[in-house]
Copies of this chain bind each other. A is one copy, B any other.
Amino acid sequence: MDWEDARMFLTVAREGQLLGAAKRLGVNQATLSRRLTHLERDLQATLMLRGPQGCALTEEGQSLMARLERAETAMQEGEALFRGREAKLSGTVRIGAPDGFGVQFLAPRLGILARRHPELRVELVPVPRAFSLSQREADVAILVGRPERGRAVAAKLTDYTLGLYASHRYLAAAGTPATREALRGHRLVGNVEDLVSAPGLDYVTEFFGETRPTIAISTAFGQLEAVRGGAGIGVLHDFVVGGDPALARVLPELTVTRSYWLAYHESQRAIHRVQAVVEFIRSGVAAAGGWLRSP
C-alpha cells in the first residue's frame, strides 16, 4: 500500500469530495481521482462511492480511515520534530577552520551572524587540523587549498599572503638579514611538522628551505606571540599581523600566497542553516576585500 495514496484518501474521506480535498492537498483533482483508484486497486476494495454528489465512505473505507488517523498522528509527531525551525534558522552549525582565519576573521564577526539568526548556534573550532565532513566533525570547513577528493562541495574563498616577521627588539639585537641565505644565522619560528594537516600548510619550507625552525608552534597565534616576544623570525599571516607596530617585515620580497577554501558535505546542501553560514562567510570575505592580503 502506497502511504502517500493513503494520506490522500484520508483527506478525501474527511472532505467528502475530491475537488475540495485536492485543493487542500495542493494537487489536481484528476490526480486525486487516480490516486484513489490506485489505492482501491491495490487493496482490492471499494473504499468510497464517488459521484457528482461527492464521495461517501463505504464500510471498508470507514475501517481504513480509523487506522490511517492513527498513522497520521504518528506522522505529524515525526514531522513536528523538524517543523517550526524552518522560518527562523535554528540548530547548531560547527565551523572548522585554521586558527588564523578562525580567530582573526571569523571570531570577531560571529556577533553579526548571531544577531542575524538569533536561534542559530554556532560552534567554531579554530584549530589547524583536518575535519572529516562525511563524519560530521564539522558542518562547514575552512581549508587551505582545494580539497582533493570526497563528497564535499567546495568553493574558493580568497587568497591570502604570508611573510617573514620579527620584533624590533629581536632585530636590534641580532641584526636584519639581507638575503634568504642569511636566515641561517637566525633563530626561526615555524610550525610543527607532524601536525601539518594539509600540503598547503607546509609553507615554512618555502621560506626556510631545509633549515628547521628552532621553535615550532602548531598555531598561528602561538607563532605570532612567540615572534612578538622576540623568539626569532617567523612566518606569519599578513592579515594576522595587521599593523602591529611591534613587528617588522623581514625580507619583504619573500612572500607566499595561499588560498582559503570553504567546504561542506553535499548532504548539507539542502540544510538551510548550513547554507546560511556558508553564505555569511562568503559574503563576509567578499566584503573584506583585500583585507587578507599583504598591503
Give the complex CA separation of A81 and B1 in angstroms.
12
Say whether A271 contacts B45, CB under 8 Å. yes
Task: Scan A129-145; emit 1 where CB is below 8 A from any B CB, else 0.
Answer: 00000111000000000
19 inter-chain pairs at a CB distance below 8 angstroms, sorted by A residue, are A1-B79, A3-B75, A4-B4, A6-B78, A43-B82, A44-B85, A44-B270, A46-B271, A49-B135, A49-B136, A50-B267, A51-B151, A63-B81, A67-B75, A67-B77, A67-B78, A68-B78, A70-B70, A70-B77
Q: Beyond the given A67-B74, A70-B74, please list 12 additional residue pairs across the A-B interface where CB-CB is below 8 A.
A: A1-B79, A3-B6, A6-B75, A37-B267, A43-B79, A44-B85, A44-B272, A44-B273, A64-B81, A68-B75, A71-B74, A71-B75
Give the complex CA separation of A46 and B139 in angstroms.
11
List B contacts of A86 (CB < 8 A): 44
Q: Is A24 interfacial (CB-CB < 8 Å)? A: no
List B contacts of A75 (CB < 8 A): 1, 3, 6, 67-68, 71
Interface size on A, residues (CB 8 A): 46
List B contacts of A210 (CB < 8 A): none
Give the complex CA separation of A151 and B2 in angstroms.
26
Q: Is A14 interfacial (CB-CB < 8 Å)? A: no
Task: Please report which residues of chain A, range 74-100, place their CB below 8 angstroms from some CB of chain B when the two chains form the complex.
Answer: 74-75, 77-79, 81-82, 85-86
List B contacts of A74 (CB < 8 A): 67-71, 74
Say whether B82 contacts A78, CB under 8 Å. no
List B contacts of A271 (CB < 8 A): 44-46
Task: Scan A187-226; emit 1 where CB is below 8 A from any B CB, else 0.
Answer: 0000000000000000000000000000000000000000
Say whether B4 contacts A82, CB under 8 Å. no
Give the complex CA separation of A268 and B79 in angstroms.
36
Q: Is A15 interfacial (CB-CB < 8 Å)? A: no
Q: Is A60 interfacial (CB-CB < 8 Å)? A: yes
In the complex, which of the residues B49, B66, B151 contacts A267, with contact meaning CB atoms closer than 8 Å? B49
List B contacts of A37 (CB < 8 A): 267, 270
Question: How far, in Å, is A57 (CB) from chain B's closest CB?
Answer: 12
